[in-house]
Amino acid sequence: MALAPSLVPGLEAYQRDDYDTAREKWRECHFDEEGEANLLAALTALATGIEQARQGHLEDAEESFDQTRSKLQALPRSVLGVDIDLLRVTLRVPADELAESPPPILAATRFPPGTLRFAAFIALLIATALIFRFTALHQYLDRQEIIRVLAAVRDSVWAPVALMASFILLAPLGLPISPLIMAGGVVFGTAKGSLFNYVGSVLGAGLSYQLARYLGRDFVVQIAGKRLKRVETMVSRYGFWSLAGIRLMPIPFPVANFGMALAGVRLPTFVASTAVGLTPGVLMYTYLATVLAAAAEGSSENGGARALEVVVAILLFSLVGLTPTLLLRRKRQLRYRKIRRRRQRRPTRRAPPNP
């Protein structure tokens, strides 16, 4: 869809970073429709805000940007050929970021912004699953094969690098990382294995987040709209520890990474909550793998001690998995008690006396 010709002079000035001229050109335009008039007011306020922000007047700029957002809020997806959805998405950043990277004003397309990137993201995940399912590559996801390969290069300085690189490669493709964690524990032991597994998991999660956010975020914003905004509000309300607790729940690793990225969790919050939330699980997985491997290779002389270690490892692993459920149940009980006390404190209404 082509842009309205009367918008082009202002747009050309906008693209040259000449925001004063852009504002004046758009002010010279006149349209009778309310939506078209609101778009012109939004573009004028946008140019004003960028100029104010670049001059260091961030408070004034934020007011101008708020005016732009307000004018765009009720507009349809396309007005005068302008992609309104894209403008709304790119305006969801602070004034200083808008000054450094002004939002593009582009012609509307048939599909929502980010459709092709989201399709590429889904195609990548499906293709990866099919390739590793129906080709010889599936053997490299087998725990025993990973252990064999790592054990062959255990004494090499590149062995830990190979393990961590496997996390970075497989996690963004949506593949499971539990075989890598178990192999890391068997080959390197509890201490070193936990360290290598932890670093690899965090790096793999971070790259998964970046991939999903780049390829899928814009499309999800357009499709979900207000529903996604409610999700973002819930994420900000429940905060850091709830996000960290997700890592202790039986949620697949790729689903947690991709879900947080598409739900709008900010990168620093994602990294910090992931770093904290993965710690107990990685330690327990690695320790359990180490104990089970030692028990399988141990002799009958210390069989009782090995069996005790296995039992302890399984109990600790189960405790880590149950922790989020127990905490959530405790939180609900406290909330229920608080509501009940509040109701008990309310004065009861007395029935009026009979005449």
Residues 53 and 148 in one domain: no
Q: Is the pLDDT of residue 2 over 60?
A: yes
Shared domain for 153 and 272, answered yes or no, is yes
CB 324 within 8 A of CB 281: no
Same domain, 28 and 159: no
Q: Tell me what the mean pLDDT of segment 80-103 comes to.
A: 85
Alpha helices in the chain (DSSP H): 8-15, 19-27, 34-54, 58-73, 84-90, 95-100, 115-134, 143-152, 158-170, 178-224, 226-246, 253-262, 267-297, 303-345
Which tens digit of pLDDT belongs to each residue from 224-233? Answer: 655 666 666 6
| pLDDT of res. 322 | 64
Do residue 119 and residue 92 come from a single domain? no
47 or 350, greater pLDDT? 47
Q: Is residue 305 part of a domain?
A: no
Listing DSSP states for 147-210 in one string gives: HHHHHHTTTSTHHHHHHHHHHHHHGGGT---HHHHHHHHHHHHHHHHHHHHHHHHHHHHHHHHH
Q: Which domain holds residue 84?
A: 5-100
- Tens of pLDDT, residue by residue over 283-329, are 888 888 888 777 776 644 555 565 666 666 667 666 666 666 666 67
d(CA 84, CA 29): 18
Are 156 and 208 part of one and the same domain? yes
CATH of the domain at 61: 1.10.3450.10
Q: At what angle do helices 19-27 and 34-54 cross, to 10 degrees?
A: 160
Residue 242: inside a domain? yes
Same domain, residue pair 144 and 267: yes
Q: Which two tokens stand for residue 188?
A: 């390197």
pLDDT at 300: 47
Cα(218)–Cα(97) distance, rounded to whole angstroms? 18
Hey, what are 345's tokens?
A: 């404190």
pLDDT band at residue 22 under the 50/70/90 scheme: very high
CA–CA gap between residue 223 and residue 135 (Å, rounded): 35
Q: How many CB atoms lie within 10 A of CB 296?
A: 10
Percent with pLDDT over 90 in the chain: 28
| φ, ψ dihedrals at 234, nearest 5° | -65, -40
Q: What is the pLDDT of residue 312?
A: 67
pLDDT band of 272, cuts 50, 70, 90: very high
Is 151 inside any structural domain?
yes
Candidate ranges 220-224, 266-270, 344-348; pick with highest mean pLDDT = 266-270
Q: Which of 78, 104, 75, 81 is nearest to 1 (CA)?
A: 81
Which residues lie across from 189 on neighbouring strands?
A: none
Q: What is the model's pTM?
A: 0.62
pLDDT of residue 242: 78
pLDDT digits (tens, 9 = 90+) for 142-175: 778 888 888 887 778 888 999 999 999 999 999 9
The count of structural domains within the chain is: 2
Note whether residue 169 is domain-resident: yes
Q: Do 95 and 129 belong together in one domain?
A: no
Domain assignment present for 317? no
CA distance 220 to 89: 11
Whether residue 251 is found in the same domain as residue 171: yes
Residue 298 placed within a domain: no
Nearest of 288, 296, 350 to residue 319 by alpha carbon: 288
Q: Could you give the angle at the alpha carbon of 268 between the alpha carbons of 267 and 269, nearest 5°?
A: 90
86, 196: one domain: no
- For residues 90 and 120, state if they share a domain: no
Indicate if 225 and 173 belong to the same structural domain: yes
